[in-house]
């Protein structure tokens, strides 16, 4: 039967609905339906609220590359004068399986970390430069066994962790990069120039090898 709109003013006027109202068991049917509707509405409102909170909590500030602190316990003068830090790239090489038609690439089994570069301004007495140089000489060409032993018996030993802390927009510590078991590989030349012009403070760059790094949100 097709209902016409002018036969009933409202759907509740339909005879079937009237029969349902007279049914003594109608509450048994209406209660689960009502509960389902309430739970559905509550779920929708909760999900919507969570989405709004997630959007409100999303970070809208970007990483500040000009606000960081370098911590190297064995190199206090270097950490104080560091001007620039180039954080290393991370890569992995796919394992190649030979095949008569084409090479098949497999998932790699290790990560490769590039070196860490720190650039710092030289102070007048070259204290920071000498700190690096003594570390390198003690590792590779110690003048005596006692020099190597002194280096080995320090708190960090032959290697040392390097920590770089990046602050947030409020200048509070935010992200910590910790480079494990680092040691210097190269130190760039010192440039001295008497050509007239603006005086530029001499700066050198030290390249460190390390065994990977961790990132921690402070």
Backbone angles phi, psi at 170, to 5 degrees: -100, 10
pTM comes to: 0.67
Closest CA to 121 of 205, 202, 189: 202
What does the pLDDT average to over 144-168? 82
Q: pLDDT (tens digit, 9 = 90+) per residue, 125-144?
A: 999 999 999 899 888 887 77
Percent of the chain scored above 70 by pLDDT? 73
Whole-number Å distance between alpha carbons of 206 and 60: 34
Q: Is residue 179 within 8 Å of residue 116, measured between CB atoms?
A: yes
Residue 2's pLDDT is 47
Query: Hey, where are the domains in the chain?
Result: 11-57, 68-217
CATH no., domain 68-217: 2.30.110
Q: Concatenate the DSSP letters of all residues of 151-217 into one string.
A: HHTSSSTTSEEEEEEEE-TTS-EEEEEEEEEEEEEEEPPPP---SSS-----EEEEEEE-S-EEEEE
Report helix angle 145-152 to 127-140, nearest 10: 110
- Give the model confidence (pLDDT) of 17-76 as tens digits: 455 555 555 555 555 656 566 667 667 666 666 665 565 555 578 888 888 999 998 888
Residues 148 and 131: their CA atoms lie apart, in Å, by 15
Q: What percent of the chain has pLDDT over 90?
A: 34
- The band of 3, judged by pLDDT with boundaries at 50, 70 and 90, is very low
pLDDT of residue 22: 59
Using 50, 70 and 90 to split pLDDT, how confident is the model at 8?
very low
């Amino acid at each position: 039967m097709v209902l016409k709109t002018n036969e009933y003013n409202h759907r509740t006027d339909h005879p079937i609905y009237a029969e349902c109202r007279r049914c003594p068991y109608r509450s048994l049917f209406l209660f689960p339906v009502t509960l389902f509707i309430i739970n559905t509405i509550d779920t929708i409102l909760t999900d919507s609220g969570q989405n709004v909170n997630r959007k409100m909590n999303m970070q809208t500030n970007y990483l500040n590359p000009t606000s960081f602190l370098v911590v190297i316990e064995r190199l206090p003068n270097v950490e104080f004068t560091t001007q620039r830090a180039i954080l290393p790239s991370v890569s992995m090489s796919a394992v190649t399986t030979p095949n008569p038609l084409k090479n098949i690439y497999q998932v790699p089994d290790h990560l490769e970390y590039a070196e860490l570069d720190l650039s710092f301004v030289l102070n007048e007495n070259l204290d920071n430069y000498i700190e690096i140089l003594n570390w390198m000489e003690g590792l590779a060409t110690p003048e005596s066994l006692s020099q190597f032993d002194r280096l080995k018996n320090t708190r960090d030993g032959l290697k040392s962790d390097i920590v770089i802390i990046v602050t947030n927009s409020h200048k509070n510590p935010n992200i910590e990069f910790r480079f494990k078991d680092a040691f210097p590989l190269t130190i760039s030349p010192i440039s001295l120039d008497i050509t007239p012009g603006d005086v530029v403070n001499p700066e050198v760059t030290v390249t460190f090898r390390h065994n990977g790094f961790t990132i921690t949100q402070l």
